[in-house]
Amino acid sequence: MRFRTRFAPSPSGHLHLGHAYSAACAWHLTAETGGECILRLEDIDTTRCKPEFAQSILDDLAWLGFAWPKPVRVQSAHFDAYSDTLSTLTGLGLTYRCFKTRRDILDEIARAPHGPGEGPDGQIYRGPRDPMSADEEAERLARGESHAWRLSIDHCRDLLGKEFDRLGFEVMGEGWRAAQADALGDVILGRRDIGTSYHIAVVHDDALQEITHIVRGVDLEEVTGLHVLLQRLLGLNTPVYRFHPLITDETGKRLAKRDRAATLKSLREAGLSPADVHARLQAARPTG
Ligand code: GLU
């Protein structure tokens, strides 16, 4: 199997040292294996992503000396493909329309007997106690009410039976890991504003682009089990994963897009050379 990985930033801000670190992890592993690393722009969140940030990502990566095959896949040009992927899951009876607002969901979770759960996207929604009747659904659709599409974990369990709990994936250098595919509950796969979601787009594109290894930050460890479930449901290969630690500032805080001082743009404007940035990445590398 030829090694093929990707760096897949979202152009919702300028890249900072944390992103550069992630890119460096993917690129170095590629160099070691003699494989290929592609760049993909994950810009489906049209409210937050901006073309000027996409350009700035291309400029910053080129400045750092990273090269990748062209053309670069830009996700916002492929909404139809993501919609088809979601339809496949809907055709299998694995999704449902959710008309609830964020507020409704939070209230419902707060009233739940076992207390609220926390996930990377906030609270975990475990699904409705009773499914909505076909009449109510038709009425709400006729009224033009907007809805999101959620994955039904119960229906996934019904479909896969015992296999559901046996899903897993390989972590480079560590071996097999159980997927815990239900950890995030009934996640939104089709947002009401854009009709798709990060989970659908990323799983679709990793398969389409024949990614064999996914190098991503530990902050995305929790969503990986869901991605493995989606790959299984869609009949796609599961890549091998590697999770890299996140680099932090001097106070130990994780770098965020709002930390202007750490953006590659500001470091470049402050007179740093690409070699200086690479040295910083090396120094910022978490130990242990
Ligand atoms: N686009 C995602 C992000 O910027 C990362 C993609 C992934 O590794 O799945 O956080």
**Number of domains present in the structure of the chain:** 2
Residue showing tokens 């106690």: 129
Regarding whether 95 and 49 lie in a shared domain, the answer is no
CA 36 to chain centre: 21
Q: In angstroms, what is the span from residue 244 Cα to ligand 1's centroid?
A: 13
Q: Give me the mean pLDDT over the 58-65 stretch.
A: 96
Regarding whether 110 and 11 lie in a shared domain, the answer is no
Regarding whether 91 and 46 lie in a shared domain, the answer is no
Q: Is the pLDDT of residue 58 over 70?
A: yes
Regarding whether 21 and 35 lie in a shared domain, the answer is yes
User: Could you give the residue ranges of the DSSP H alpha helices within the chain?
Assistant: 17-33, 51-64, 79-91, 102-111, 134-142, 153-160, 163-166, 198-208, 221-233, 264-269, 274-284
Higher pLDDT pick, 262 / 11: 11
At 28, which CATH number?
A: 3.40.50.620
Q: For 122-167, how does the pLDDT look when each residue is reduced to its tens digit (9 = 90+)?
A: 678 888 878 899 999 999 999 999 999 999 999 999 999 999 999 9
Higher pLDDT pick, 18 / 286: 18
191 part of a folded domain: yes
Regarding whether 84 and 72 lie in a shared domain, the answer is no
Q: In angstroms, what is the span from residue 137 Cα to ligand 1's centroid?
A: 34
Q: Give me the mean pLDDT over the 268-278 stretch.
A: 95
Regarding whether 177 and 117 lie in a shared domain, the answer is yes
Report the percentage of the chain scoring pLDDT > 90. Answer: 80
CB-based contacts of 158: which residues, under 8 Å, 6+ apart? none
At 157, which CATH number?
A: 3.90.800.10
Ligand 1 pocket mutation, candidates 37, 72, 220, criterion most atoms within 8 A of CB: 220
225 part of a folded domain: no
Regarding whether 31 and 92 lie in a shared domain, the answer is no
Regarding whether 24 and 90 lie in a shared domain, the answer is no
Q: Are 262 and 255 in contact (CB under 8 A)?
A: yes
207 part of a folded domain: no
pLDDT of amino acid 286:
65
Q: Where in the sequence is the domain holding 181, given as residue range(s)?
A: 80-200
Q: For 167-224, how does the pLDDT look when each residue is reduced to its tens digit (9 = 90+)?
A: 999 999 999 999 999 999 999 999 999 999 999 999 999 999 999 999 999 999 999 9
* Residue nearest to ligand 1 atom 2, measured at CA: 9
User: CB of 18 closer than 6 A to ligand 1?
Assistant: no
Regarding whether 183 and 87 lie in a shared domain, the answer is yes
45 part of a folded domain: yes
Regarding whether 191 and 90 lie in a shared domain, the answer is yes
Q: What is the mean pLDDT of the chain?
A: 91
Regarding whether 196 and 101 lie in a shared domain, the answer is yes
pLDDT of amino acid 256:
67
User: CB of 216 closer than 6 A to ligand 1?
Assistant: yes
| Band of residue 117 on the pLDDT scale cut at 50, 70, 90 | low
Regarding whether 89 and 47 lie in a shared domain, the answer is no
206 part of a folded domain: no
235 part of a folded domain: no
| Band of residue 288 on the pLDDT scale cut at 50, 70, 90 | very low
